[in-house]
Chain A
Amino acid sequence: MTVAISVNNLEKVYASGVVALKGVSLQVQQGDFFALLGPNGAGKSTFIGILSTLVKRSNGRVQIFGRDVDTHVYRTKLDLGVVPQEINFSQFEKVADIVMTQAGYYGLPRKLAAQRTEKYLKQLGLWEKRDVRSRLLSGGMKRRMMIARALVHEPRLLILDEPTAGVDIELRRSMWDFLLEINRAGTTIVLTTHYLEEAEQLCRNIAIIDEGRIIEDTSMKKLLLELDTHAYILDAEADFDRDLRHDEPGLSLHKVDSHSIEAVLSGGRDINSAIAVLDRLGIRIVSMRNKANRLEQLFLSRLRAGENQNEKRDG
Chain B
Amino acid sequence: MFSDHRLIAFETIVIKEVRRFMRIWTQTMLPPVITISLYFVIFGNLVGSRIGEMGGFRYMEFIVPGLIMMAVIQNSYSNVVSSFFSQKFQRSVEELLVAPIPNYVILSGFIAGGMARGLCVGFIVTLVSLFFAELRIFSPLIMISVVLFTSLVFSLGGFINAVFANNFDDVSIIPTFVLTPLIYLGGVFYSIELLPPFWQLVSRLNPIFYMVNTFRYGILGTSDIDVAWAFAMLVLFAVLLFGACIWLLRRGTGIRS
Q: B6 interface residue, CB < 8 Å from A?
A: yes
Given contact pairs A53-B98, A54-B97, A90-B92, A105 touches B256 in the complex (Cβ within 8 A): no
Q: A291 interface residue, CB < 8 Å from B?
A: no
Q: Is the CB of B100 within 8 A of A54?
A: no
Residue of A nearest to B105 (CB): A105
Q: A101 interface residue, CB < 8 Å from B?
A: yes
Given contact pairs A14-B257, A56-B252, A74-B100, A102 touches B8 in the complex (Cβ within 8 A): no
A86–B91 Cα gap in the complex (Å)?
A: 9
Given contact pairs A89-B90, A91-B90, A101-B16, A77 touches B95 in the complex (Cβ within 8 A): no
Collect the chain A residues with CB atoms within 8 Å of residue B94's CB: 54, 84, 88
Q: In the complex, which range does the number of interface residues on chain A fall in? A: 20 to 34
Interface of chain A residues 198 through 251 with chain B (CB within 8 A): none
Q: B87 interface residue, CB < 8 Å from A?
A: yes
A56–B97 Cα gap in the complex (Å)?
A: 12
Interface of chain B residues 65 through 99 with chain A (CB within 8 A): 86-87, 90-92, 94-99
B212 to chain A, nearest CB (A): 35
Contact mask B1-25 → A, CB, 8 Å, 1/0? 0001110110111011001100100
Q: B236 interface residue, CB < 8 Å from A?
A: no
Collect the chain A residues with CB atoms within 8 Å of residue B257's CB: 14-15, 49, 54-56
Q: B101 interface residue, CB < 8 Å from A?
A: yes
Q: A195 interface residue, CB < 8 Å from B?
A: no
Query: Which of A55, A73, A82, A106 counts the most B-chain CB atoms under 10 A from its CB?
Result: A106
Q: A298 interface residue, CB < 8 Å from B?
A: no
A108–B5 Cα gap in the complex (Å)?
A: 7
A227–B256 Cα gap in the complex (Å)?
A: 41
Q: Is the CB of B98 within 8 A of A54?
A: yes
Q: Is the CB of B95 within 8 A of A108?
A: no
A75–B86 Cα gap in the complex (Å)?
A: 28
Residue of B nearest to A146 (CB): B95
Query: Which of A52, A86, A105, A107 counts the most B-chain CB atoms under 10 A from its CB?
Result: A105
Residue of B nearest to A80 (CB): B98
A55–B97 Cα gap in the complex (Å)?
A: 10
29 contacts between A and B (CB under 8 A): A15-B257, A53-B97, A55-B257, A56-B256, A56-B257, A73-B100, A74-B102, A75-B100, A77-B98, A77-B99, A77-B100, A80-B98, A82-B98, A84-B94, A88-B92, A88-B95, A89-B90, A92-B20, A101-B95, A102-B99, A104-B9, A104-B11, A104-B12, A105-B12, A105-B101, A107-B8, A107-B100, A110-B8, A149-B95
Q: Is the CB of B8 within 8 A of A88?
A: no
Collect the chain B residues with CB atoms within 8 Å of residue A53's CB: 97-98, 256
Q: Is the CB of B96 within 8 A of A105?
A: yes
Q: Is the CB of B97 within 8 A of A89?
A: no
Contact mask B184-224 → A, CB, 8 Å, 1/0? 00000000000000000000000000000000000000000
- What count of chain B residues pass the 8 Å CB interface test? 30
Interface of chain B residues 151 through 168 with chain A (CB within 8 A): none
A90–B86 Cα gap in the complex (Å)?
A: 9
B88 to chain A, nearest CB (A): 11
Q: A78 interface residue, CB < 8 Å from B?
A: yes
A42 to chain B, nearest CB (A): 17
Interface of chain A residues 34 through 71 with chain B (CB within 8 A): 49, 52-56
A7–B94 Cα gap in the complex (Å)?
A: 22
B87 to chain A, nearest CB (A): 7
Contact mask B129-164 → A, CB, 8 Å, 1/0? 000000000000000000000000000000000000
Q: Is the CB of B100 within 8 A of A88?
A: no
Q: A292 interface residue, CB < 8 Å from B?
A: no
Interface of chain A residues 282 through 313 with chain B (CB within 8 A): none
Query: Which of A15, A53, A109 counts the most B-chain CB atoms under 10 A from its CB?
Result: A53
Q: Is the CB of B100 within 8 A of A78?
A: yes
Q: A3 interface residue, CB < 8 Å from B?
A: no
Contact mask A74-100 → B, CB, 8 Å, 1/0? 110110101010111111100001000
User: Which single member of A52, A91, A109 contacts B8 (CB below 8 Å)?
Assistant: A109
A92–B22 Cα gap in the complex (Å)?
A: 13
A5 to chain B, nearest CB (A): 15
Q: Is the CB of A102 within 8 A of B100?
A: no
Among all A-B residue pairs, the 9 with the closest Cβ atoms:
A107-B5, A104-B12, A105-B99, A88-B91, A74-B100, A77-B100, A90-B92, A88-B94, A107-B8
Residue of B nearest to A84 (CB): B94
B4 to chain A, nearest CB (A): 7
A15–B100 Cα gap in the complex (Å)?
A: 26
